[in-house]
């Protein structure tokens, strides 16, 4: 993925002598270094190939994944000569173009389009960064995380994140995460406070629903049904909305599930909340 990202950037319609690429390897893998060494030789074949045949898909994997109609003999011969490698050079420059390791540019004029904002004579000094809306190739049937951004891809708007900019999101990279994504299973797999709050509220709604049903059925207090019907309906709705949370708490046992420590905390906190209401 890193190889494809870097090569897509190097394929821009922009002078290579003015384009520097920085790779931030937060994983510290030696394989990344050796991949870059191999990529250096491949860029000598891939970049001229893209320039010569006006290839807009600068990412080799994205380009070869599509249907390619080979009619020109010269084109066919050079296509067969392409091998996957990478390259990287480091320098300092006034502009930085940032891509995640699983992204690639599908427009060779991206740099020129971004520079139009920065170099605008009237408002260029007011702009600190330019962000392009993203498109995704592996969207699931029901678009679990609402990644398609249909509106922004069809209507130009100022931004959607509350700060005048378009959303900036990654895509799945590992096999197990990709498998869960294709099955449209929401990804948790973290012990942060956010998931503790979500799990506690989910358990509290579940306890409230069970308590309301128990009060009506076991104690035959049907006379209060009209008083509890709104509360039970709301609890039932919230429980249904939290089904993915319950699945992550009690059913799934993969890396995407909610950790058992959060399960224990949520049960304790929800139980204490119910006891406080009783007392």
Per-residue confidence band for 52, with pLDDT thresholds at 50, 70 and 90: confident
Residue 151 pLDDT exceeds 80: no
Rounded to the nearest angstrom, the gap between the alpha carbon of residue 41 and the centroid of all alpha carbons in its chain is: 31
Residues with Cβ within 8 Å of residue 86, at least 6 apart in sequence: 2, 3, 6, 7, 35, 36, 38, 39, 40, 42, 43
Mean pLDDT, the chain, whole residue set: 75
Instruction: Give the span between the Cα atoms of 187 and 208, in whole angstroms.
Output: 26
- pLDDT cut 70: percent of the chain above it: 71
The whole-number pLDDT of residue 215 equals: 77
Instruction: Between 184 and 145, name the one with better pLDDT.
Output: 184
How many alpha carbons lie under 13 Å from residue 85 in its C-beta half-sphere? 17
Instruction: Between 165 and 121, name the one with better pLDDT.
Output: 121
Q: Record the pTM.
A: 0.44
pLDDT digits (tens, 9 = 90+) for 102-137: 677 777 788 888 888 888 888 888 887 787 766 676
Longest dimension (CA), the chain: 85
């Amino acid at each position: 993925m890193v190889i494809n990202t870097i090569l897509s950037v190097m394929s821009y319609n922009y002078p290579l002598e003015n384009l520097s690429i920085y790779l931030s390897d937060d994983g510290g893998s030696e394989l990344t270094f050796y991949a870059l060494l191999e990529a250096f030789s491949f860029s000598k074949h891939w970049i001229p190939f893209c320039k010569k045949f006006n290839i807009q898909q600068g990412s080799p994997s994205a380009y070869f994944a599509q249907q390619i109609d080979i009619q020109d003999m010269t084109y066919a011969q050079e296509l067969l000569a392409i091998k996957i490698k990478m390259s990287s050079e480091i320098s300092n420059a006034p502009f930085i173009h940032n891509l995640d390791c699983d992204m690639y540019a599908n427009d060779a004029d991206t740099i020129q389009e971004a520079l139009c904002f920065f170099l605008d004579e009237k408002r260029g000094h007011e702009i600190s960064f330019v962000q392009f809306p993203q498109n995704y190739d592996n969207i699931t049937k029901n678009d679990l995380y609402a990644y398609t951004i249909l509106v922004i891809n069809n209507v130009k708007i100022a931004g959607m994140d509350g700060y005048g900019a378009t959303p900036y999101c990654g895509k799945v990279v590992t096999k197990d995460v990709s498998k869960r994504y294709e099955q449209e299973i929401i990804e948790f797999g973290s012990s942060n406070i956010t998931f503790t709050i979500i799990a506690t509220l989910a358990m509290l709604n579940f306890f409230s629903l069970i308590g309301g049903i128990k009060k009506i059925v076991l104690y035959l207090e049907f006379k209060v049904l009209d008083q509890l019907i709104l509360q039970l309906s709301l609890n039932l709705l919230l429980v249904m909305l939290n089904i993915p949370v319950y699945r992550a708490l009690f059913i799934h046992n993969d890396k995407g599930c909610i950790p058992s420590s959060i399960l224990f905390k949520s049960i304790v906190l929800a139980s204490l909340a119910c006891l406080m209401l009783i007392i």
